[in-house]
Amino acid sequence: MLKKVLRGTGVAIVTPFKEDESIDHDALERLIEHIITGGAEYIVSLGTTGETPVLSSGEKKDIIHFTAKTIRGRVPMVVGCGGNHTRSVVDELRSLPLEDAVAVLSASPYYNKPSQEGIYRHYVEVAAASPVPVILYNVPGRTGRNMTAATTLRLAEEKNIAGIKEASGDMMQVMDILKSAPEDFLVVSGDDALALPQLACGMDGVISVAANAYPNAFSDMVRLSLQHRFSEAKKLNDILIEAYNLMFAENNPAGVKAFLESMNIIRNILRLPGVPVAQNLREAIHQYVNEWK
């Protein structure tokens, strides 16, 4: 059951680039090792944090192969595959090397602003084409359209749809989903800063950005929460709150890439239209990282 396999912390990993903006495989390997040794339960490759809109089809396949090879079966791997053209998503699903993936994470269609019926029918087509279970991803701050609790619960009954990464930031919506979702339906947070209260409501874990930089502390916070040891979890979360504020002050993944640069794990390079954070924020991040040590 996917709900058991992916319980805890998943990390939506960034895509490191070299100065010429080619994929930095050495840095990607360092990042994966940093996350696994830090205790995260699984890795999400090619999530939106990985700057997937600016990656070519060939680069995506290369990243999946390299990530699976580096993981070596030590933790599960989820692969991101989504978009706002249903047929293109279906075609991509059929072309990606998903033999090492336990699931696909698919973001709700962006820009088009489809109706709830359009979102439902999009995911039914995606699920039918996917060789592995599909995790829905609701992130209205990026897509421009919220997927309601009613639509999520309707999709939860569909074959091959196994869960949701819920990042609406709406706690009532979260509770509505948790109240009525099937017992085997995975519900994880997509909001690092809201993870603690959402875990208290009954979520199964988090797909995190912050855990790229702090896999140990963040994963421990999630595990403590899942054990209902919330006072201990809060102490860790309190330490991480400033990191959340700095990391998401301008843009994701620009913030987390600045953190990882300060940790000497990757270069601080993004592909346009993404750009590094402003110098004053970069300095504040660097100071935070040094003080953490």
Which sequence positions are flagged as catalytic? Answer: 137, 165
Report d(CA 6, CA 77) in Å as an integer. Answer: 9
Q: 128: which 2 tokens?
A: 């039918």
Q: 3: which 2 tokens?
A: 């709900």
Report d(CA 145, CA 119) in Å as an integer. Answer: 9
Report d(CA 91, CA 96) in Å as an integer. Answer: 9
Query: Which residues are CB-contacts of 38 (< 8 A; sequence separation ≥ 6)?
Result: 211, 214, 215, 216, 219
For the chain, where are the E strands, in sequence order?
Answer: 8-12, 42-45, 77-80, 103-107, 134-138, 161-166, 186-189, 205-208
Query: Which residues are CB-contacts of 125 (< 8 A; sequence separation ≥ 6)?
Result: 86, 89, 90
